[in-house]
Structures are given as C-alpha cells and as structure tokens.
Amino acid sequence: MRPSSHHVTRCRRCHAAICWALTSANGRRQPVDAEPTAEGNLAVMQGADGVLYVRAVTVARPGIRPGEWQAMPHHATCSNPPPRRSARTPERSTVGVRPVPWQR
C-alpha cells in the first residue's frame, strides 16, 4: 500500500512529499513521509472515513497489516526542521484550575 495522491502534500519547510495523518494514540496530526520505506517505524492506513491514521510499529504490535504501509515520521527526515524550542516552559497540567478563595 501507499498513500493516495490526494493525501500527498508538500512540507512547508523542505517541500518534500508528505502526508498528514492522525496518531491512533492521541489523535494529533503528524506529518509522515509520503514515500513508504521499510526503515520507517510507523504504520499508516486510510480509515473508512478517508482520513489517514498512523500508529507506531512496536515490539508489541510489529509488522505491517494489509491496508497499511510503512512510513518514516517526517520529523526524522525533514531537511529544514523548525528550530527546537526546548527553552519554552512546559505545558502546565493545572491550566483552568484556579484556587478557590477561602470563605466561611
């Protein structure tokens, strides 16, 4: 299997052919290389809704199933990746939780 041409787009940074897929783990959009590769650690498939889904190929779930293709995350191959922003403060898990004023 390989991606349908209408899923293939261009990376804004390096103009490589990529596909956007949703991670099966948390539904985030992830760019993957459009060209299937046996080196990839991802398995991509098109869902019944026409959306591409990507999952990690792990020891627990190895192998590529029918309808999937093996792909590399584009982050790993982008020739012009965005600068790392490790200096940013990590996302706080307490967003939206406000201390309640003490009342009596």
Residue holding tokens 């261009």? 10
Residue from 1, 8, 22, 78 binding Zn ion (CB under 5 A): 78
Q: Is 78 exposed, middle or buried (0-12, 13-18, 19+ CB in 10 A)?
A: middle
The H or E element that residue 74 is part of is helix 74-77
Q: Determine, following the binding rule CB under 5 A, whether residue 76 of this chain makes contact with Zn ion.
A: no
Task: Give the nearest distance from C-beta 79 to Zn ion in angstroms.
Answer: 6
Min dist. Cβ of residue 78 to Zn ion (A): 3
Looking at the Cβ atoms of 33 and 68, the one nearer to Zn ion is 33
Interface residues toward Zn ion, by CB under 5 A = 11, 13-14, 78
